[in-house]
Amino acid sequence: MKVHKILLATTVLTGMTPIAALAQTAAPQAETPAAQDDNSVGEIIVTAQRRSENVLKVPLSVTVVGADELLQRGANDLTAVTKLAPSLQVAQDNTFAVRGVGTGTFATTVEASVSQVLDDVVIGNKEFAANAFYDVSRVEVLNGPQGLLFGKNASAGLVNITTNRPVLGQTSVSGDVEAVQRDRPVKNGQGIQVRSTVNLPIGTNSALRLNAIYSGQDSVTYPTVNSAVRNDFGLRNLGLRGKYLYEPTDALSIYVIGEYNRQRGISGRYDITFRQIGAGSAYTGLGYPSGADNLRYNSDAPNYRDADTGGLQANINYSLSNGMEISSITAWKNAVVSYQFDSDNTPVNFFNTNYSRQVYNQLSQELRLALPEGNKVSGQFGLYYYRSVGSVVGARGGNNGFPGFLLPTFPFCVGATQLGAPPAACPVSNASFLGQDYKYNLKQNSYAGFGQLSYHVTDTLKLNAGARVTYDKGTIDLLENVGKYFVTLGVPNNRSVESTDATNFSFKLGADWQVTPSTMLYGFYGQGYKGPGFSNTSPAPGAKLAVRPEISRGGEIGIKGRLADGKITYLVSAFHTRFTDLQVQSWITSLRTFVLSNAATATTEGVDFSFQARPTTRLTLSGSASYVDAKFDNFPGAQCYTGQTSNGCRADLRSDAPGYVGTFNAAGYQLPLSAKFTATLGADYSQPLTEKLDAQFGIGYYHRSPQSSALGTPFFIPTWDTFDLRLGLKSKHWSASIFCKNCTNEIRPISIGSDGGDANPVQGPPVLTLNQRFSYDSVRTIGLRLGFDF
């Protein structure tokens, strides 16, 4: 890390301290709540059903990660939460899965199967998921279909992120500084993160809360680069957020949030290396590093990612005299993202270009009426509107490793200067040997009406019913492959202007029974929905791009409650969900590109378990586990991986060879992004050293069985077992700790894939070369964290 970056980051934190200190002397202080004098597990409040409730009273499976756990375990973004919530898994490009089901494409032309909600607003673009956490109150992972009450649809699950609201009548300043070092060949990677929050009262009925974050991280991998081109291999994140709360009466609340996030660098998203160089590869003998623990690669083309995201929102709540509450949530979100990276991981131009620029805007409006709690009938109703407009341009390609002196001449004609009649001259001048370009405008509109009611049959038995009617409409204008290439990756000179729409009725029926004051049984059955979308490439000239909605149907039964006089809380749930018209991405060999379609049905079933215990006032234990059996029921047209000869495949032959079979039915195969068994355990212990100083110790363990990245055994990520340790000191206003994450340095990628150039060569037999992507949790991290709170 550069010294001036560290100084700049520290200034952001320390510069806010005197502002709050001055305000603290001028404002009345809020009373400090009395501390608990027993060792029972405190209440955990969630908004999994769009109202604040004790998690033990919510009739569904939800994993909650609070602010303290996020801080102590060093979970600084959504990707890191996967080590704390076993049902949640992550892959490349900020795609997530819950209970083994996730978004089966990297295209931006469909909704996510696992939705993300930030402060009650659904985020319709995955770029927002890359932003670092700051001033987060809690993260809730809601398992199973969750689109009923949360605006947009979520056929597989939902991640609900809530940040801290301004506090009336309280002046405070808090923050933390984290410096880390990560194991990396040649030279260890380093990082710095600084976060700060100031809460300022404005009069007696309003308050302002200001947040800032700066993070600068070296890349996880170590590249050898071309210094003459732009290379942003690290990651720099700047975030600013302002929140204003105004409560002029006990009945009215106005809450306004504005934020801006800026990211520069490809690390955490595009840390890609060779895992295996296949026999007969064009890369053989060139000295390129490879292996399961390989963190090195080469690059001669530019590598960068520039992302700017932000938005404004206003949440207005009004409580009527009869106990009903009316809510309005208006939000606008914007993202501008451009990237380019060297896709072949070599110092030669095999596939140097992978460029894209995206401009995205979304506007949403939600109106909700909540009935009062405590009556025979309770619940809520609402209307929702969402509109997004996106514009994307991009290009991919390269020269297949051909020597420069051959390229300008016939028949390749790449950069040809002498045009005329072949073979003495070239009829055209091609931009590259392999190439693809695209430009599309996408508009999506969604309208929905929803409602959920609970009827108290008795004081302990409650029936629940909910329904949602959604109308979605989308349009796309796609222009692709207008450039000139020796081999076009896709359909040349193709334009598609298309629209699609769908009307859906989703529902949920269930019951919960408070068997005892500390034990609840629940169950439900319902239907989830993910709206229609489009493939971002055409399977044939003039072909339809639209894909139908993805539908999930299933149910869950569970038990949750307290044991041992409240010292233990627990949740056990069993689930079964079937997905039809699954939106999945398939490789079209003849076009050498991916196409999205409704190609599969799948079933996921299993058991979730979690607990938290406080055997003593000083010791807290926690753990959760998820067993998931997620498989395709039917998937005709699945891509055979290179060299596959099972299931009727003959992908060991060239695609134009007699007897070649490039697809098969993947029924029975494990879904990508799924793992059979995942578990996490944690222990935190506090020991008083003096009247004002405590020693703290924490340990975390994470286990994941082999995880599927794609179809076939070469793409399974091996079993992963990691340990996290923390040792620190804490007083009333400050804390300090040293920690390590993945302490034994169990190196694991987040995805494994086949190298497109080797797998589908223009000449010669196919070769299975594998590449892999890494995240910051893939390697050992050792660090120091300092925090303060006044």
What does the pLDDT look like over 485-543, one tens digit per residue? 999 988 999 999 999 999 999 999 999 999 999 999 999 999 989 899 998 888 888 88
More confident of the two residues 543 and 324: 324
Range 261-265 average pLDDT: 96
Contacts of 273 (CB under 8 A, 6+ apart): 221, 289, 290, 294, 295, 296, 297, 345, 771, 772, 774
pLDDT at 25 over 50: no
State what percent of residues in the chain have pLDDT above 90: 66
Domain membership flag for residue 195: yes
Domain membership flag for residue 506: yes
Q: Is the dihedral of CA 476, 482, 483, 486 positive or negative?
A: positive
Please calculate the CA angle 440-444-445 and round it to the nearest 5 degrees. Answer: 160
Maximum pairwise Cα distance, the chain: 91
Range 418-430 average pLDDT: 91
Domain membership flag for residue 649: no
Helix, strand counts (H, E) of the chain: 5, 44
Lowest mean pLDDT among 55-59, 116-120, 620-624, 782-786: 55-59
Phi/psi at 574 (5° precision): -125, 140
Per-residue pLDDT, 761: 55
More confident of the two residues 349 and 148: 349
CA 242 – CA 621 distance, rounded (Å)? 35
pLDDT at 230 over 80: yes
Element housing 759 (H / E): helix 756-759
Q: Structure tokens of 302?
A: 């530019």
Per-residue pLDDT, 471: 96
pLDDT tens across 448-469, in order?
999 999 999 999 999 999 999 9
Domain membership flag for residue 65: yes
Q: How far is CA 268 from CA 132, 378, 394, 466, 756, in A?
A: 11, 44, 21, 39, 21
Give the length of the chain. Answer: 790
Per-residue pLDDT, 763: 58
Q: How many CB atoms lie within 10 A of CB 447?
A: 15
CA 234 – CA 225 distance, rounded (Å)? 13
More confident of the two residues 184 and 660: 184
CA 672 – CA 101 distance, rounded (Å)? 8
Q: How many CB atoms lie within 10 A of CB 18?
A: 10
pLDDT at 51 over 60: yes
Mean pLDDT, the chain, integer: 88
Residue pair 443/481 in contact by the 8 Å Cβ criterion = no
580-584: long-range pairs with CB below 8 Å, 24+: 580/550, 580/551, 580/552, 580/553, 581/547, 581/548, 581/549, 581/550, 581/551, 582/104, 582/550, 583/103, 583/104, 583/105, 583/110, 583/113, 583/530, 583/533, 583/547, 583/550, 584/104, 584/105, 584/635
Domain interval for residue 280? 3-25+46-634+670-789
Phi/psi at 231 (5° precision): -140, 110
* Count: domains in the chain: 1
Q: How many CB atoms lie within 10 A of CB 590?
A: 11
Range 291-315 average pLDDT: 95
Lowest mean pLDDT among 95-104, 321-330, 546-555, 630-639: 95-104
Contacts of 60 (CB under 8 A, 6+ apart): 48, 49, 142, 143, 144, 522, 524, 556, 558
Q: How far is CA 105 from CA 97, 135, 296, 593, in A?
A: 12, 31, 27, 12
Range 85-104 average pLDDT: 83
Q: List beta partners, residue 178.
A: 193, 785
Here the CATH number for the domain that contains residue 739 is: 2.40.170.20
Indicate the pTM of the whole model: 0.89
Contacts of 32 (CB under 8 A, 6+ apart): none
Per-residue pLDDT, 591: 60
Domain membership flag for residue 41: no
Per-residue pLDDT, 36: 42
Q: How many CB atoms lie within 10 A of CB 461?
A: 14
pLDDT tens across 686-699, in order?
999 999 999 999 99
pLDDT at 241 over 70: yes
DSSP conformation letters of 27-79? SPPPPPPPPP-S-PPPP-EE-TTSS-EEGGGSSS-EEEEEHHHHHHTT--SHH
Q: Structure tokens of 507?
A: 């529902």
Range 76-104 average pLDDT: 85
- 655 — pLDDT class (breaks 50, 70, 90): confident
CA 361 – CA 391 distance, rounded (Å)? 9
Per-residue pLDDT, 169: 94
Q: Is the dihedral of CA 778, 780, 784, 788 positive or negative?
A: positive
Residue pair 120/627 in contact by the 8 Å Cβ criterion = no
Of 721, 722, 730, the C-alpha closest to 684 is 730
pLDDT at 608 over 80: yes
pLDDT at 47 over 80: no
Per-residue pLDDT, 42: 67
CA 762 – CA 758 distance, rounded (Å)? 9
CA 16 – CA 220 distance, rounded (Å)? 31
Query: Cα(first)–Cα(last) distance of the chain, in Å?
Result: 29
Domain membership flag for residue 37: no
Phi/psi at 508 (5° precision): -155, 130
Domain membership flag for residue 234: yes
Per-residue pLDDT, 764: 63
Domain membership flag for residue 655: no
